Homo-oligomer: A and B are copies of this chain.
Amino acid sequence: MNGAESLARTLVAGGVNVCFTNPGTSEMHFVAALDKVDGIRCVLGLFEGVVTGAADGYWRMADRPAATLLHLGPGLGNGLANLHNARKASSGIVNIVGEHATYHIKHDAPLTSDIEGIARPVSAWVRTSPNARAIAADGAAAIAAARTPPGQIATLILPADTAWNEADGVATVAPMAARARVGDDVIARCATVLRSGEPAMLMLTDRAVRADGLALAGRIATATGARIIAQGSNARIQRGAGRVPIERLPYPVDQALAVLKDVRHLILVGAKAPVAFFAYPDKPSVLTPDGCQMHQLCTLAEDSIAALEALADAVGAKKGSEVVQPAGRPALPTGALTPDTLAAALGALLPEGAIVADESVTTGRGFFKQTAGAPPHDWLNNMGGSIGLGMPLATGAAIACPDRKVVCLEGDGSGMYTVQALWTQARESLNVTTVVFANRTYAILRHELTNVRAGTPGRKAADMLDINRPDLDWVALARGMGVPATRATTAEDFNKQFASSLSTQGPTLIEAVL
């Protein structure tokens, strides 16, 4: 077998069963190998940001890496923004990036570039395979790197001749490493803090905001009076009726400061010490109050569930003592379509088992509250702040969980960066309902212009913040890529279209005109 086939078979042996692809000439042997090898599904994206964002969504729902297939440095470049987001989400991804044949690189052909240089800022592991006999072992190392807790981006660069030359066969992939356990001293220290009676808060993320982690945190809260909160953004929160409810630290600095102002002890459960998303001339970067002590229960790479279990035991928290979210939905809204009525409609209709890919930016700030009592569902945030993740994330989540409904909540500004994801959803008949919030502006920038005290925008600045002139027609865009679409201009419209979409198999899009 050639190098390409040895790599493809190694991927399958390592449990990598999906490859999101946007290949070019230098990847043709790998494409041919994927064709030959069973056990790996190929999903084409028409733009690389779709490919990398989908791999992020796949990891979050499947808890194992997908591969991507990208064409040389520029193809990787096109995928970079969503790799940045995936890196911040600690998602494991195996990027396979084609390269010229080893002997061709020195000729500086048009597509020659510094691929490793482009890869490094977003990758924990980068390697250019030197020859066909090395590629299987390099692939195995890439998988191991991607699966290293909490999940990492591994970029394997595949020169064309390493793909087409003769190889030795499949490499063995190391089993997935268990997460490290936190020491008893750390547990004891955090327990002491919690028993001190001083105002304490647990800040959670990653596995700790899935159902099991939240149940443990909830019973610790019951036993000690500590508050619990999730990071501002999280890879996957499990929430809804019957689960321990959790709010996220708000994005606006003043709101975040208010939430944290009385906290004397902040116990970080995988979470980072909270800082402002951006700096503002008159606001602090650090969000915790002076004198607040930080205690790290576990790092992101450590076993937060085991740590919470140990901490729950140490503080005498009782199983079943956690306060869970009662079931309850808002009434179906009527009247104008606004962020508030949209929030109510989502809360009223979100189906059990839904996966929410949330890139609603400003429009969605009220969605979390109104959907709290909906049936159990998963909620995925953008962790890196680079907009254009929502629709690719939804695409990858739908590939990972074909039996669940994915609801993608997307700003119209954000959606345009990776609009090509809709085509992949159509091709693969993915079960995704996309709701685009058509406020025809980068609304967040209008707030931020004020927040950073940059003054009132004149016409030229306003033109950089608004995306009207012309208005985007999302119904046409979606149909242009084979996704059935409708437009809602009232709450009643939206209720009806959203309900209809939820009961339809395959992708649909609703343009919610605000």
Residues of chain A at the chain B interface (Cβ within 8 Å): 21, 23-26, 28-29, 31-32, 34-36, 42, 44, 46-47, 49, 72-75, 77-78, 80-81, 83-85, 88, 100-101, 103-104, 107-111, 113-114, 117-118, 120-122, 160-161, 164, 233, 272, 275-279, 281, 285-286, 383-386, 388, 413, 416-417, 419-420, 423, 426-427, 444-445, 448-449, 451-455, 457-461, 463-465, 467, 469-477, 479-482
A476 CB contact (under 8 Å) in B281, B451, B460, B476: B476
Q: Is the CB of A77 within 8 A of B74?
A: no
Other A-B pairs beyond A73-B121, A109-B277, A477-B480, 14, CB < 8 Å:
A28-B449, A29-B454, A35-B458, A44-B463, A46-B416, A46-B467, A74-B85, A77-B84, A104-B275, A111-B385, A117-B120, A164-B454, A472-B481, A476-B476
Q: Is the CB of A477 within 8 A of B470?
A: no
- Give Cα distance in the complex from A470 to B34, angstroms: 22
Q: Which residues of B contact A449 (CB under 8 A)?
A: 28, 31-32
B279 touches A35 (CB 8 A): no
Minimum C-beta distance from A487 to chain B (A): 12
Bound-state CA distance A434–B24 (Å) is 24
- With the chains together, A117 CA to B114 CA distance in Å? 11
A416 proximity list for chain B (CB < 8 A)? 46-47, 420, 423
**Known interface pairs A24-B445, A32-B457, A481-B477; A470-B75 also in contact (CB < 8 Å):** no
| Copies of this polypeptide in the complex | 2
Cβ distance A385 to chain B, nearest Cβ, rounded Å:
4
Contacts of A453 in B (CB 8 A): 164
By the criterion CB–CB under 8 Å, are A35 and B118 in contact?
Answer: no
Q: Min CB distance, A157 to chain B, in Å?
A: 13
Min distance, Cβ A52 to any Cβ of chain B, angstroms: 10
Give A67 Cβ to nearest chain B Cβ, in Å: 13
Chain B nearest CB: distance from A261 CB in Å? Answer: 19
Contact A427 B277 (CB under 8 A): no
- What residues of chain B lie closer than 8 Å to A122, measured between beta carbons? 77, 113
| Chain B residues in 8 Å Cβ range of A103 | 279, 285
Whether B44 and A233, one on each chain, are in contact in the complex, defined by CB atoms closer than 8 angstroms, is no
Shortest CB-to-CB span from A317 to chain B, Å, is 32
Min Cβ gap A117→B in Å is 4
> Can you sample 16 A-B contacts with CB below 8 Å?
A31-B454, A35-B461, A46-B467, A101-B279, A101-B285, A103-B285, A104-B278, A110-B277, A111-B386, A114-B121, A117-B117, A160-B278, A427-B469, A472-B482, A475-B480, A477-B480
Closest CB of chain B to A212's CB: distance in Å?
Answer: 26
A269 to chain B, nearest CB (A): 18
